[in-house]
Structures are given as structure tokens and as C-alpha cells.
Amino acid sequence: AAGVIQSPRHLIKEKRETATLKCYPIPRHDTVYWYQQGPGQDPQFLISFYEKMQSDKGSIPDRFSAQQFSDYHSELNMSSLELGDSALYFCASSLSNGAAGNEKLFFGSGTQLSVL
């Protein structure tokens, strides 16, 4: 079965460069979540999208932006990269089931970003 796909798997950038991370949710999933996991830390929620609209926003820096496209894949754009941005970025997708809630999350393997 198809899972959540993230690309690239690894990314190395220098300070002040830009990076774009991509997340391809499970087919027909309409919700995508982005998380940032620093070294030895638990994941921090960045942002989420439902039906191509931003549904929730967490601790996402102003240098970052994200969007969900018509095919439901999402991209996280990161500009003016800093050393502290080095982390594992992973996304999760789910299929909204209306008021019932409790949609199950499916997690991607993550993109490991290293800023030098």
C-alpha cells in the first residue's frame, strides 16, 4: 500500500540558502501536517492543511512557508536557513471523516535537513 512519501530524504544546505521539502500524502488523504524534530527532541508542530487551506499553525518561523496543492501534496519552503534549522522534518497525512474526528495519522519517513 502507498505510504506518505517525502522528498528529498536528505538535504544539505548552507546558511542563508533556501530549501523546499515535499510531502506526498496517501492517495485521497486531504489533510497534511508538518513537524520539525530537532536532535534528540520530540516533534514540534509547524503547520497543517486541510483541503488546500491552512487549518492550523504552530511554531513555524516567518522564514518558512507552506502550501497544499490541488493534488494534495504539500511543500514546505524554507528561506534564509540558519544552523538551528537542522532537523528532521516529517509530515503526516490523514483523511478527514467529518465531525466524527479521530482520523488516523500516517507518517512519512522524514527529510533530514543539515544546514552548514
Partner 1 sequence: AQRVTQPEKLLSVFKGAPVELKCNYSYSGSPELFWYVQYSRQRLQLLLRHISRESIKGFTADLNKGETSFHLKKPFAQEEDSAMYYCAPLDLNAGGTSYGKLTFGQGTILTVHP
Binding footprint of partner 1 on the chain (CB under 8 A): 31, 33, 35, 37-40, 42-43, 45, 48, 50, 55-56, 58, 87-88, 92, 96, 99-105, 107, 112
Min separation Cβ 37 and partner 1, Å: 6
Give the closest residue to 91 by CA, choosing from 55, 60, 45, 52: 45
The shares of helix, strand and coil residues in the chain, as percent rounded to the nearest 5, are 5, 50, 45
Min separation Cβ 102 and partner 1, Å: 5
Contacts of residue 76, defined as CB under 8 A and 6 or more positions apart, other chains included, come to 20, 21, 22, 23, 34, 46, 47, 64, 65, 66, 89, 91
Min separation Cβ 105 and partner 1, Å: 6
Min separation Cβ 23 and partner 1, Å: 15
Q: Which is nearer to partner 1, 16 or 105 (CB)?
A: 105
Q: Which is nearer to partner 1, 56 or 71 (CB)?
A: 56
